[in-house]
Structure 1
Amino acid sequence: MLEVDNIEKYFGDIQLLYGVYLKAKEGEVTGILGSNGCGKSTLLKIIFGALKSKYKLIKLDGEVIQKKLYTTRLVKYLPQHNFIPDFMSIRKALQLYQISEVDFKSFFVEEGFDMLQKFGHLSGGQRRIVEVFLTIKTPSRISLLDEPFSHISPGQVAAIKALIQTEKQHKIIVITDHLYREITEVSDAIYLIKNGSSKRIQQLSELEDYNYISQGSL
């Protein structure tokens, strides 16, 4: 279990996050919702260890993690931007992420990727879905996914959802996206970031109550 508590983040004199709490379990997908600029991406970066915060408490299986989480090699993080270098081939990336070409080809059965193709030569949608696949599929205890459904086709979204459901059986998955329906469909637990604080959502109707979505949108 991953437990995050008391996260406070300031940008200058402006406080963005106020004592955020979140708990994510192996076997579940934990979704984070919130309006643009509310701090969802900031929260994932703080958990990963790429961004400092004024206060934070991170525990894994009840043990406090004192160092940056990414240094434990237990976590993989999908940022919103492209992160595989343009010059790297798909084959080399698979080797680095410890993923077999058989698994890759079986997932992308309709794409027909050339394993020697460089990331810089892929289309934006192709590149994004390959990077999403690498982050989810690579061996790790924790996967942090920032907008994995954005800029990819509906068919690819469905494939990613299916992959997440398979991989969650043996890892902790925390996910956020502005496509809230995709998050509500794939998540077992949902948190809403509003006014800098986290609120555990027990029923989807609460998203209307908190004015995150308009009445009748569900």
Structure 2
Amino acid sequence: MLEVDNIEKYYDNVQILYGVYLKAEEGQVTGILGSNGCGKSTLLRIIFGSLKSKYKLIKIDGNVLLKKLYETGIAKYLPQHNFIPNFLSIRKALQLYHISEADFKSFFIENDFRLSQKFGELSGGQRRIVEVFLTLKTPSRIILLDEPFSHISPVQVEAIKKLIEIEKQHKIIVITDHLYREITEVSDTIYLIKNGSSKRIQQLTELEDYKYISQGSL
């Protein structure tokens, strides 16, 4: 179990996050929703350890984490931007992420990928879906996904959602995206970031009550 509490973040003396709490468990997908600029990406970066915060408490299986999460080697983070160097080939990336070529080929059976292709040669959509695949298939216990559905086709979105359902069985997955329907469909637990605080969503109609979506959008 991953549990984060009391996360506060300031940018130039402006407070963005106010004591945010979130709990994510193995076997479940924990979704984070919120309007643009509310701090969703900031929260993921703080959890991962790549961004400092004024306060934070992070626990793994009930034990307080005393170092950055990425330093433990048990977590992988998918940022919004492309993060694999242009010069790296798909084959080399698979080796670095300890993923078999057979797994890659079976997932991308309908796509014309060559393992010798470099990331700089892929289209934006191709590159994004490969990076999402690599992050999800890594042996790491904790997976943090920031906008995995953006810039890819509806068919690829469905493929990623199926992969998430498979991988969550033995992983903790935390996910955020501005495509809220995709998040609500794939998530077992949902938190809404509103006015800098986290609110556990018990029923989707609460998203209308909190004015995250308009009435009748569900």
TM-score normalised by structure 1 residue count: 1.00
Q: Counterpart of 1:190 in 2: which secondary structure? A: strand
Aligned residue number for residue 130 of structure 1: 130
Aligned residue number for residue 163 of structure 1: 163
Aligned mates of 1:122, 1:141 — CA distance in 2: 28
Residue 112 of structure 1: how far off its partner (Å): 2.2
Aligned residue number for residue 209 of structure 1: 209
Aligned residue number for residue 181 of structure 1: 181
Aligned mates of 1:138, 1:60 — CA distance in 2: 19
Q: Deviations over 1:99-154 (max 9, x none)?
A: 00000000000112111100000000000000000000110110000000000000
Pairs within 5 Å for 1:1-218: 1-218=1-218
Aligned residues: 218
Aligned mates of 2:112, 2:197 — CA distance in 1: 44
TM-score normalised by structure 2 residue count: 1.00
Aligned mates of 1:115, 1:34 — CA distance in 2: 37
Amino acid at match of 1:156: Q
Q: Counterpart of 1:50 in 2: which secondary structure? A: coil
Structure 1 alignment gaps of length 5 or more: none
Residue 13 of structure 1: how far off its partner (Å): 1.0
Identity percentage over the alignment? 83
Q: Deviations over 1:169-200 (max 9, x none)?
A: 00000000000000000000000000000000
Aligned mates of 1:13, 1:160 — CA distance in 2: 38
Q: Counterpart of 2:41 in 1: which secondary structure? A: helix
Amino acid at match of 1:59: K
Residue 44 of structure 1: how far off its partner (Å): 0.1
Aligned mates of 1:10, 1:204 — CA distance in 2: 30
Aligned mates of 1:57, 1:205 — CA distance in 2: 30
Moved more, 105-114 or 200-209: 105-114
Structure 2 alignment gaps of length 5 or more: none
Aligned mates of 1:160, 1:175 — CA distance in 2: 12
Q: Which runs of 4+ in 1 moved over 2 A?
A: none
